């Protein structure tokens, strides 16, 4: 029985073609639009990092939104804008609350009891994650 062997060039061409197909399959698709959650997450991360640095420096959490904004001015030139509702204001929950109540009236919600900051948005992001657990 005679074996059919591909010439060397055809073998390399076949390997190259399979490699290209694998590469193009593995590449992510180009986004159709700017992901608003990514910009929102970036602003939230910036705020949380500044608030964390401040809580370490002062050995405490700020008690009000005004106090937080004054203390954050040491770390931020301005409060980041919430990319979903276009607000850059911070409101604070009352001291007895340990979770945010989100209503969209500000860009961000500060919870003094925990030192956490949340986007002041009702509902959920594109992936279905509620903003209250961000």
Show the low-confidence residues of the chain (pLDDT under 50). Answer: 32-33
pLDDT of residue 41: 92
Query: Per-domain residue ranges for the chain?
Result: 36-133
pLDDT of residue 134: 86
Give the chain as a 3 state SS string: CCCCCCCHHHHHHHHHHHHHHHHHHHCCCCCCCCCHHHHHHHHHHHHHHHHHHHHHHHCCCCCCHHHHHHHHCCCCCCCCCCCCCCCCCEEECCCCCCCCCCCCCCCEEEECCCCEEEECCCCECCCCCEHHHC
pLDDT reported for residue 27: 63
- What pLDDT is stored for residue 36 in this prediction? 75
pTM for the model stands at: 0.71
């Amino acid at each position: 029985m005679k074996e059919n062997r591909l010439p060397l060039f055809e073998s390399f061409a076949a390997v190259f073609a399979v490699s290209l197909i694998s590469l193009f399959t593995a590449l992510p698709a180009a986004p159709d639009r700017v992901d608003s959650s990514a910009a929102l997450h970036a602003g939230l991360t910036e705020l949380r990092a500044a608030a964390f640095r401040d809580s370490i420096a002062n050995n405490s959490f700020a008690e009000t939104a005004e106090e937080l904004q004054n203390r954050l001015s040491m770390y931020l030139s301005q409060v980041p804008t919430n990319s979903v509702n276009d607000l850059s204001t911070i409101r604070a929950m009352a001291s007895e609350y340990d979770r945010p109540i989100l209503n969209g009236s500000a860009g961000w919600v500060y919870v003094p009891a925990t030192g956490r900051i949340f986007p002041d948005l009702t509902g959920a992001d594109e992936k279905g994650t509620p903003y209250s657990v961000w």
